[in-house]
Amino acid sequence: MGEKNKKISLCLGGGGARGYIHIGVLKYLEENEYEIVEVSGTSIGAIIGAGIATGMNSSEIYDFIESEFSYRKLIDFSFSKGMISGVRIFKKLAEVYGKTKVCSTKIPLKIIATRLDDSTKVVFHDESIVDAVRASMSVPGIFAPHIIDGKHYMDGMLTENLPISVLDGDNIIAVSTTLTPDFTTKSTKNYLTKACNIGFLHNEEMSLKNCSKTVQLIRPEYDDVDFLDFYKYKHCMKIGYDEAKRILGQ
């Protein structure tokens, strides 16, 4: 068998707090000298992907997440449009990225969002990283929609939760946070979460089915982290690292 191709296109899926597995995967890639030549991201994947594309390593992204992405720091209520208005996180993203545009990053970056006005998937290019990330992470019912040039944007997970299709490279590592639904637990909260997972899983499987390129899928099975469990970032990172080692270390 030939030497493994370590020049990769990295795809980071959405999934709320579960997306912190991406940092663990990134740490494994760094330790094993993978070269990320482009990155795509949806929602939490867009947040972490933007860090990668602008030259941040896993430790720097970890520090940023630890200091700024606790649930308490994210909350700024907006009962009319979503549980969280997003003003605080927009300001914090602006402190980090300033006016840097998606098209001017060190590593090519593709950020996905859903435009509500015409129900289409959007891949940002000329927009600022701050606007693109804030739009991509606008989870319905949790974050208020983000407005850019009069258009309303919501989370990219609504149209492509695992944004493989937007990548140009042929050697893709895709990281999914989506669980295979299991309805044995009877709590209402559990049923709602797992019902959402059905939609995400179908969405992702369609992306994988329609992709003609080589894709190595990292999708760990862990059911002890919910969508808003932001305080479990260390646990998620370990899961991501261990699963990357299991899949890629073969």
Active-site positions read: 43, 155
Residue 32 domain flag: yes
pTM strictly above 0.85: yes
Q: Is the Cβ–Cβ distance between 159 and 45 less than 8 Å?
A: no
Q: Which residues contact 184 (CB under 8 A, 6 or more apart)?
A: none
User: In which domain, by residue range, is 147 found?
Assistant: 7-237
Residue 2 domain flag: no
pLDDT at 38: 98
- pLDDT tens track for 116-146: 999 999 999 999 999 999 999 998 888 889 9
Mind giving me the DSSP string for 136-190? HT--TTTBPPEEETTEEEEEGGGT-SS--TT---SEEEEE--PPPP-TT---HHH
Tally of domains within the chain = 1
- Which residue carries 């947040």 as its tokens? 47
pLDDT at 1: 40
Residue 80 domain flag: yes
pLDDT band at 30 (very low <50, low <70, confident <90, very high): very high
Residue 86 domain flag: yes
Task: For residue 145, give the CATH number of its domain.
Answer: 3.40.1090.10
pLDDT at 226: 80
Residue 247 domain flag: no
Residue 250 domain flag: no
Q: Is the Cβ–Cβ distance between 134 and 89 less than 8 Å?
A: yes
Residue 106 domain flag: yes
pLDDT > 60? residue 189? no
* Sign of the dihedral defined by the CA atoms of residues 238, 73, 227, 45, in that order: negative
Question: Which whole number is the average pLDDT over 206-217?
Answer: 86
Residue 243 domain flag: no
